[in-house]
Chains A and B, each alone.
Chain A
């Protein structure tokens, strides 16, 4: 309660400050009588209008000027809890209880003919702006910082007094930079109060030092404004050049990140194949479908966990990792025992049989789950991005990079440091000799194929976060997976890693230059040329054990 009272008090204070401030030169406010006129003006009137334009204007006014209950009303609007009754009354619905939005007093029964106040992008934009203004004056430290950044990125001169006021009151050190940036951006935006060339040039300098795309946008608009003073405009143009140079540098790093991230996805998808095709020599055309099964397992795990323990739903992804590995590993062993073991040494038949199997699996999933995509939600801790200098690091992609590294490490460990790994390598290098040494080759074959399939399932967990989860999912990855394994050198995991990253970074470097379609074609051509010269890939296996 005291929290709310404090906010209301702040709002009233804000109103007083605004009454004394110079009138903002915004069209929407100029036609309005001042708030201390004799006839009381209803600050909420616009919200009852059926037109988005009027609603957005009312929201903007509430944000910049405040009113008793303004904060509650804005919050209700953004939560779809604000209603207009037939008589023009505004009501907030919380569950089944109704309150009068203008007074905050509870109402006994549901108002007649209430319809929800509708939103569109225009209203939503105004709302975000207004709520940022409110948060800046009344929120906690984190909310104030977010609000200042929001106002700096979406400068609206009508909010200038709010920012000035926040600057004038004592505030934490971290808040000063975004506030100054917001103020500078507002001073340079259309409709700002005239402050003179000096202040504008100073604002240009602030934005130049801030850099970034949003600051660039403000400067570009200012530089194109014929009415602005020539000197300041020239400074703005120079600042844009400086910012562009900085952005170009960061962009290089950003492209590398995109490339590595694409490479990680390729690596994950190809790693299972590197085991089944690379180590065992089986051409498994159903590999993509095992990735798809992994993605559907993720979906089922998430659905089950949400139903059984909604509180733990955010952790469904980590849980899906072992589940998908086991499910796909088991499916892989079943495929090996039931189909592939009859076809060893007959690559053409294996290819046809596994291709047929891929169609069967696709149609089975289509019949079970329907042809449309299923929704795998991205947990909150994987949504969004963070800034690293001028780099935008998207969390889901970043997590996939780490995950790919971890899976790669685990697979290497299994192959190098476990008895199973030793047996696998022995069987691949010389099956008869291994059998004579007492290794049960059939069991090793099944386990190796199971491992490769399980890793494919892990790829499915990762892919469910960035791609469609549909029966066709696997088809998009099968060609790329073979490309990576062959390009890297069959039988060599490090080669697979190198090939995935080369293709990822190469693809992303070509994309902005020649476009996505030609980039893909060009990359394929380059790989073909490379394979022509080095038929065994980047890192061919050497040694006596390798059959030529």
Chain B
């Protein structure tokens, strides 16, 4: 590490790849703008750097730091440098609200990038609405929410869960007739499964063919549940598992599946929270063929994605670092915010929120993310199978980017709701039948 020649080459490499990516990102603009000057624009980074969620969220903090560095190299925003204010809410949900208040009231940040679990997002939501901040949320979630102050860069259920079920029902996906919905016991799996259950019913799957099972956070002993799944699968019809198991508990779950001899060709497992980062800590050989549904995979071969992976590896000084879906969501969110501020000519929260809707940003997989009136974006959906090397092999994808739906049409209470933050509706839960807004705020 202290060898000087080594350091020079690495720095050169970093510089080269940064220049290359600047060309990529900046398009026709000049490569090296004048160095930014003046009062820095502050942005908040609200990700857990310690505690249970540090495993997933630390990476997202680093992504924002990288994007800020890149943007400053290109001259910042409005000629001013960007400055990231990093706080650590320590996987503690009430602390999320406290830190959010600190970012908005004390640090006066122009936008905040943060949260992973839905429970942390629910905790900061009142703070962002009260102090009129802007939150970019990068993770796929359960929907049923539409706040004026949040931009949802991750997938809504119709951009992940529903297409994944469609794939499992299809011939290529094995034509599943029985479904085991296995998840961690908290808001995201419960809401998603509620949507999926009513969707499966519409698809002609009877209640007897659906098994639902919840486990506590950090469950490490899956023996009983895996053997229950095995028994459930012996009814003579193709069975599939839909997993909303949270990060930590996945490794022992997959290990137990492999130990009990369940392979993906017998009972495939479709996971909504297992990405490249989670697989990095697993022996993937017994998992080959298990499925995941995301809007981005590291293995998707586009020039933009290659450049992004290269930048990321140079930034983290680790030539084998993986990328994943929430990282792409932050990439999209950050660039959309830069566009909005540039277009509005100010960092004023109200003006930026007004400007956001309709903006377009190329994503890393070759299509375009457009900000919709409900503050969600358009995203392509990919189904990947786990390969021996821990990467995903895309076996199915939607023909075009899918617009995100805030409210599920498969839940009776929200069937008629839409979110539209443009004039004249300006409402997060507008009832299209009663032609009325159910509340000025989100729910």
Q: Which residues of A are interface residues toward B (Cβ below 8 A)?
A: 52-53, 118-122, 124-125, 128, 154, 213-214, 216-224, 247, 254-255, 258, 261-262, 265, 362-363, 366, 371-378, 383-385, 392, 394-397, 465-472, 475-476, 508, 511-512, 515-517, 520
Contact = CB atoms under 8 A, between A and B. Distances in A.
A121 B235 CA distance: 21
Interface string B182-202: 000100000000000000000
B235 A120 contact: no
A466 B237 contact: no
Given A384-B259, A516-B216, A124 B281 contact: no
B277 to A, nearest CB: 6
B268 A121 contact: yes
Given A121-B289, A375-B280, A468-B251, A214 B234 contact: yes
Contacts of A520: 216
B162 interface: no
Contact of B50 (A223, A254, A363): A363
B438 to A, nearest CB: 32
B393 interface: yes
A517 B258 contact: no
Contact of B223 (A128, A216, A397): A397
Nearest to B264: A121
Contacts of A392: 227, 260-261
Contact of A219 (B218, B236, B283): B236
Contact of A372 (B55, B173, B218, B264): B55
Contacts of A396: 255, 259
B37 interface: no
Contacts, number: 160
Interface in B264-302: 264-266, 268, 277-278, 280-283, 286, 288-289, 291
B12 interface: no
B6 to A, nearest CB: 20
Interface residues of B, number: 58
B52 A472 contact: yes
Given A128-B265, A517-B214, A53 B171 contact: yes
B319 to A, nearest CB: 14
B206 to A, nearest CB: 13
B236 A220 contact: yes
B94 to A, nearest CB: 19
B58 interface: yes
B225 interface: yes
Report which residue of A124, A223, A362, A508 has the largest number of chain B beta carbons within 10 angstroms of its beta carbon. A124
A221 B237 contact: yes
A392 to B, nearest CB: 6
Nearest to B218: A476
B234 A213 contact: yes
B281 A470 contact: yes
Contacts of B283: 375-378
A224 B236 contact: yes
Contacts of A219: 236
6 contacts: A53-B171, A120-B385, A124-B288, A125-B265, A217-B236, A466-B220
Given A216-B236, A516-B216, 8 more contacts: A119-B393, A217-B234, A374-B281, A378-B283, A397-B259, A468-B220, A469-B281, A472-B51
A122 B259 contact: no
A516 B55 contact: no
Nearest to B235: A220
Contacts of B79: none
Nearest to B286: A383
Contact of A124 (B213, B230, B259, B264): B264
B403 interface: no
A517 B235 CA distance: 26
A120 B172 contact: yes
A52 B218 contact: no
B224 A511 contact: yes
B54 interface: yes
A400 B83 CA distance: 51
> Among A466, A468, A469, A520, which residue has the most Cβ atoms of chain B within 10 A?
A468
Contact of A122 (B172, B216, B227, B260): B172
Given A224-B236, A385-B259, A516-B213, A124 B278 contact: no
Given A375-B282, A470-B281, A221 B236 contact: yes
B298 to A, nearest CB: 14
A377 B219 CA distance: 20
A472 B223 contact: no
A223 to B, nearest CB: 8
A217 B224 CA distance: 20
B172 A373 contact: no
Given A373-B251, A373-B278, A373-B282, A516 B225 contact: yes
Contacts of A124: 264-265, 288-289
A152 B54 CA distance: 46
B249 to A, nearest CB: 8
Contacts of B174: 121-122
Nearest to B383: A120
Nearest to A377: B283
A385 B281 contact: no
A262 B256 CA distance: 13
Nearest to A366: B54
B255 A372 contact: no
Nearest to B322: A372
Going nearest first, the 3 A-B pairs with the smallest beta carbon separation are A373-B281, A221-B236, A220-B236
Contacts of A122: 171-172, 174
B391 to A, nearest CB: 13
Contacts of B264: 121, 124
Given A258-B224, A394-B259, A217 B213 contact: no
